[in-house]
Amino acid sequence: MMKDLQQFPRIPLGVYPTPFYKLEAVSRKEGVNLWIKRDDLCGVALGGNKVRKLEYLLADAKARGCDVVFTAGGAQSNHAMLTAACAARLGMRAVLVLKKRGVSGHLGNLVLDDIFGAQVHFVDTDSYDDVYAETARMASELEAQGHKCYEIPVGGSTPLGSLGYAQCVREMAEQSAAAGVRLDHIVSATGSGGTTAGLLLGSALYLNGTPVLGVGVDNDPFEEIVPYLARDAAALIGAEPNLGPFSMRYHFGSGYAVPNPEDTPAILDLARSEGILLDPVYTGKAYAGMLRLLHEGFFGGAENIVFVHTGGAAALFAMDLG
Ligand SMILES: *Cc1c(COP(=O)(O)O)cnc(C)c1O
């Protein structure tokens, strides 16, 4: 029996629905209707996609009686920062275990982590194995003192967290219907996979399998990870949907979290034509990658494409565009 996603335990944290509208200037220039879903405007900190995931993840943490939330990431992790913001609101302590590589000073998200009162712990490593080992060590210390810890893996990309993006598609289904458009393609950045997985599930549930494209900003095998996460997320709500078409294309330049100078013109163009900020780690790469694919004919005869803006602006205050 399929449970309704609406009945699934969730703590409201963001201001939803986020805006959905057509990018008029870009659409004229590109000769296609390009729509945007503004999850960068979700009302927590500087916005971003992790809030929808955290609505489910922190509901689970609360239900289990946890008072401390651990998560992991790079030094400039948007996910860690938003976990700090959301945990603080719920009266929970956030411990952020971050990879030391790439720390270039107390900038960007690290400033916000402090404002939200998180405990930031750096591990001098490049490997998440070390980060998770340190997390386990710190969590067992806190448990010995009587705390109850909840561990959220990098990016919050578990099946539970992915439900947040099925919820996002549910909103877009209503918003696109109200605007009288049929969406032909959904595009987002793929960093740890949960967002794209949720979009794929949501598309099957609410948009008759509108094709989903993930633009990879890291080089993990998302072709496998994303459908696997989508099916496990579906199982949580007792659904067995036929997932619609899904493709991955990669556009990370010289590597994850390294700004790609080739993308700068697209970032500046969107800022100057629509007043929208993209970031150099995720959305700038995904947006520039999407435009490149559009020019190559990837979207065929698609008339309406929606780009899901997943946030990330704090990185603009931590690194140069390149
Ligand atoms: C985390 C993140 C993404 C990627 O989402 P995943 O669910 O990890 O694939 C995209 N954009 C921004 C700004 C992010 O912080």
Q: CB within 6 Å of ligand 1 — which residues?
A: 48-49, 78-79, 155, 157, 189-196, 279, 282-283, 310-312
| Nearest alpha carbon, ligand 1 atom 15 | 78
CA of 146 to the centre of ligand 1 (A): 33
Q: What is the pLDDT of residues 279-319, one digit of tens each?
A: 999 999 999 999 999 999 999 999 999 999 999 999 999 99
Q: What is the pLDDT of residues 78-113, one digit of tens each?
A: 999 999 999 999 999 999 999 987 677 899 999 999
3-state class (DSSP) for residue 189 = strand
pLDDT above 70 coverage of the chain, percent: 99
Q: Tell me the domains of the chain and their CATH numbers.
A: 5-49+158-317 (3.40.50.1100), 50-156 (3.40.50.1100)
| Nearest alpha carbon, ligand 1 atom 8 | 192
Q: Catalytic residue among 27, 77, 254, 273, which?
A: 77
Q: Is 17 left (phi over 0), alpha (psi -120 to 50) or beta?
A: beta
Q: What is the pLDDT of residues 147-169, one digit of tens each?
A: 999 999 999 999 999 999 999 99
| Nearest alpha carbon, ligand 1 atom 2 | 191
Provide the pLDDT for residue 4: 85
Amino acid identity of 18? T
Provide the pLDDT for residue 102: 66
CA of 141 to the centre of ligand 1 (A): 30
Q: Of the candidates 63, 57, 235, 88, which has an alpha carbon nearest to the alpha carbon of residue 151?
A: 57
| Ligand 1 atom closest to residue 188's alpha carbon, by position in its atom list | 10
Q: Active-site residue 77, yes or no? A: yes
Residue reference for tokens 């806190």: 142
